[in-house]
Amino acid sequence: MIQAARWLRLPAEHPFGLAALPYCSYTAATYTGGYRVGVAVGDHILDLTTASDRLMPARAHLFRAGSLDDFLAAGDGAWTQVRDGLTGWLSDEQCRPAIEDLMVPVGQASLRLPFTVADFVDFFASENHAANAGRIFRPGAEPLPPNWKHLPIGYHGRSGSVVVSGTPVRRPCGQFRPPGADAPSFGPSARLDFEAELGFVVGARSHLGEPVPASRFAEHVFGVCLVNDWSARDIQSFETVPLGPFLGKSFATTVSPWVLPLAALEHARVRPPSAAADLLPYLTETTHWGLDIDFEVRLNGSVISRPPYATMFWSPAQMLAHLTVNGAAVRTGDLYASGTVSGPEPDQRGSLLELSWNGTEAVPLPDGTSRFWLQDADELTISATARGPGGGRIGLGSATGRILPAVRESPAGKD
């Protein structure tokens, strides 16, 4: 394991040590000229926009715009060179004069969406989550839909409402049918939920008409972020048959401000359950891009779930292969999410739908209250760590959102 330079005073077990090095787009009160690309180093952010000017001028143009977009598009040669450069600068005592003045405490930085989100796709890759949803909504029937073990199911979502961690989330209004009612009502969702997911960020584009094989996953996908696919269950359940999720999902999707490159996840790779499945050749899992990533979900500061990503049936390489097998292209900035991460145990479920079993079992909180669904002013935080070198854990950061009350007006101006 590479040691950080002594002057950084970076504890070996810090989740943002040299084995992580996630990227962000940020600004600080002392800056002129707007946003810069940053890299987390312990409790600080290194200004990569300026550092690359000083230490890697041939690549500096990739960071001048202050977002990750140009860097993502540059491809895996640039990704490797920049990460190797960063590791060198941060471990070589002689680089101190070039970068010491470029460190800003994370607490003094303002972080925005790190890249321009192009298309957004959401999968449904957890067998535990899919089976729980089946048991809840189709009791007595087979828990998994007949297609589930043959292909990674997904839908195309709404990229324009992807927001960065910390952005408040307004409770949506919409149509839903109260229990026993014949006709739908319009109003604020009463069944607001979260979904803890992992997101995959596409760097290098593919070309229309050319499927991307699973084996080329790491040439196209740059890294991962945390995703909360906020879901209004009452709106979702009335609208969803037969065309799938629409307004029950599209009002907001929160992502972490950090993109952790795949290169940081080499030690976290595991064989996903789908490796033992009998699949069509294009989905055969030989890449072992299952991931040992442990999630933690906190509601108003209290842990309510610890979903293990390693239990996810489909790997992100299979998701990419399926997403493009019909010739659809992926673009720089495409974000595809795993779907809710739920493990086999009750305290490993990644949504309130499952934790409260569709509003029938109260989820207790330490303050003496309980929840079936999210209330106004609730704050939901998803965080995660991955297995790193030497048995340690590296951080993915967190994705937080606080619920704002609905604006109680129908489109006609009255309820």
Give the active site residues: 129
Residue 260 CB, shortest distance to Ca ion, in Å, is 20
Residue among 47, 195, 239, 294 that touches Ca ion (CB under 5 A): 195
Q: Smaller CB distance to Ca ion: residue 47 or 122? A: 122
Q: Determine the interface stretch with Ca ion among 30-38, 228-236, 345-353, 371-379 (rule: CB under 5 A).
A: 228-236
Q: Smaller CB distance to Ca ion: residue 69 or 229? A: 229
Q: How far apart are the first and last CA of the chain?
A: 61
Q: What torsion do the CA atoms of 272, 278, 281, 287 make, to the nearest 10 degrees? A: 20
DSSP 181-248: -SS-EEEE-S-EE-BEEEEEEE-S---TT----GGGHHHHEEEEEEEE--EEHHHHHHH-TTT--STT
Q: Determine the interface stretch with Ca ion among 45-53, 188-196, 308-316, 349-357 (rule: CB under 5 A).
A: 188-196
Q: Smaller CB distance to Ca ion: residue 229 or 239? A: 229
Q: State CA 244 to chain mean position distance.
A: 21
User: Any idea what the Cα angle at residue 239 is, between residues 163 and 154, rounded to 5°?
Assistant: 60
Pick out residues in 121-140 that bind Ca ion (CB under 5 A). Answer: 122
Q: Determine the interface stretch with Ca ion among 58-66, 89-97, 170-178, 224-232 (rule: CB under 5 A).
A: 224-232
Residue 339 CB, shortest distance to Ca ion, in Å, is 5
Residue 354 CB, shortest distance to Ca ion, in Å, is 12
> Which residue's Cβ lies closest to Ca ion?
229
Give the number of residues in contact with Ca ion, rule: CB under 5 A.
Answer: 3
**Would you say 236 and 250 are in contact if contact means Cβ atoms under 8 Å apart?**
no
DSSP 298-347: EETTEEEE--BGGG-SS-HHHHHHHHHTTSPPP-TT-EEE------SSGG
Pick out residues in 335-394 that bind Ca ion (CB under 5 A). Answer: none
Q: Smaller CB distance to Ca ion: residue 122 or 234? A: 122
By three-state DSSP, how is residue 108 classified?
helix
Residue whose entry in the numeric block shows the structure tokens 């394991």: 1
Q: Determine the interface stretch with Ca ion among 54-62, 157-165, 229-237, 307-315 (rule: CB under 5 A).
A: 229-237
Residue 231 CB, shortest distance to Ca ion, in Å, is 7
Residue 18 CB, shortest distance to Ca ion, in Å, is 33
C-alpha closest to that of 161 among 245, 37, 252, 82: 252
d(CA 64, CA 56): 13
Q: Smaller CB distance to Ca ion: residue 69 or 122? A: 122
CA-atom Rg of the chain in angstroms: 22
Residue whose entry in the numeric block shows the structure tokens 């990460």: 83
Q: Smaller CB distance to Ca ion: residue 339 or 395? A: 339
Pick out residues in 267-286 that bind Ca ion (CB under 5 A). Answer: none
Q: What is the DSSP letter of 351?
A: B
Residue 195 CB, shortest distance to Ca ion, in Å, is 4
Torsion region of 176: left, alpha or beta (phi above 0 gives left; psi -120 to 50 gives alpha): beta
Torsion region of 96: left, alpha or beta (phi above 0 gives left; psi -120 to 50 gives alpha): alpha
Residue among 47, 127, 229, 294 that touches Ca ion (CB under 5 A): 229
Q: Smaller CB distance to Ca ion: residue 187 or 244? A: 244
Q: Determine the interface stretch with Ca ion among 126-134, 193-201, 280-288, 387-395 (rule: CB under 5 A).
A: 193-201
Residue 249 CB, shortest distance to Ca ion, in Å, is 7
What number of other Cβ atoms are within 10 A of residue 65's Cβ?
17
193 contributes a contact to Ca ion by CB under 5 A:
no
- Where does this chain bind Ca ion (CB under 5 A)? 122, 195, 229
